[in-house]
Amino acid sequence: MRKKILEIIDLTREFKLGDTTLKAVDNVSLSLERGTILGVVGESGSGKSTLARIVMALDKPTEGNVLFEDSDIFGLTSARLRKLRASFQMIFQDPYGSLDPRHRVSRIVAEPLHLEDNPPKGDALRRRIGALLEEVELCKEDMDKYPHEFSGGQRQRIAIARALITKPKLIVADEATSALDLTVQAQILKLILKMRDKHGISVLFITHNIAVVDEICDSVAVMQSGKVVETGTVRQVLDNPQEEYTKRLLSAELNLTNIGRKKYRKGT
- In this prediction, residue 98 carries a pLDDT of 83
Instruction: Name all contacts of 241-249 with Cβ < 8 Å and 24+ positions apart.
Output: 246/222, 249/41, 249/42, 249/43, 249/210, 249/222
Asked if pLDDT for residue 61 goes beyond 50, the answer is: yes
Q: How confident is the model at residue 128 (pLDDT cuts 50, 70, 90)?
A: very high
At the top level of CATH, which class does the domain 4-101+170-251 belong to?
alpha beta
Q: How confident is the model at residue 253 (pLDDT cuts 50, 70, 90)?
A: low
Q: How confident is the model at residue 249 (pLDDT cuts 50, 70, 90)?
A: confident
Asked if pLDDT for residue 261 goes beyond 50, the answer is: no
Q: Which residues contact 268 (CB under 8 A, 6 or more apart)?
A: 262
Asked if pLDDT for residue 256 goes beyond 60, the answer is: no
The mean pLDDT of 77-83, rounded to a whole number, is 90
Mean pLDDT of all residues belonging to the chain: 89
Asked if pLDDT for residue 32 goes beyond 70, the answer is: yes
- In this prediction, residue 255 carries a pLDDT of 45
CA distance 156 to 138: 11
Asked if pLDDT for residue 9 goes beyond 80, the answer is: yes
The mean pLDDT of 231-249, rounded to a whole number, is 93
Sheet order of strands, 37-41 included: 88-91, 170-174, 202-207, 37-41, 219-224, 227-233
Asked if pLDDT for residue 129 goes beyond 80, the answer is: yes
- In this prediction, residue 173 carries a pLDDT of 93
- In this prediction, residue 268 carries a pLDDT of 38
The mean pLDDT of 154-173, rounded to a whole number, is 94
Asked if pLDDT for residue 243 goes beyond 90, the answer is: yes
In 3D space, the residue among 217, 256, 254 whose CA is nearest the CA of residue 233 turns out to be: 217
CA distance 212 to 24: 23
In 3D space, the residue among 19, 176, 182, 185 whose CA is nearest the CA of residue 94 turns out to be: 176
Q: How confident is the model at residue 238 (pLDDT cuts 50, 70, 90)?
A: very high
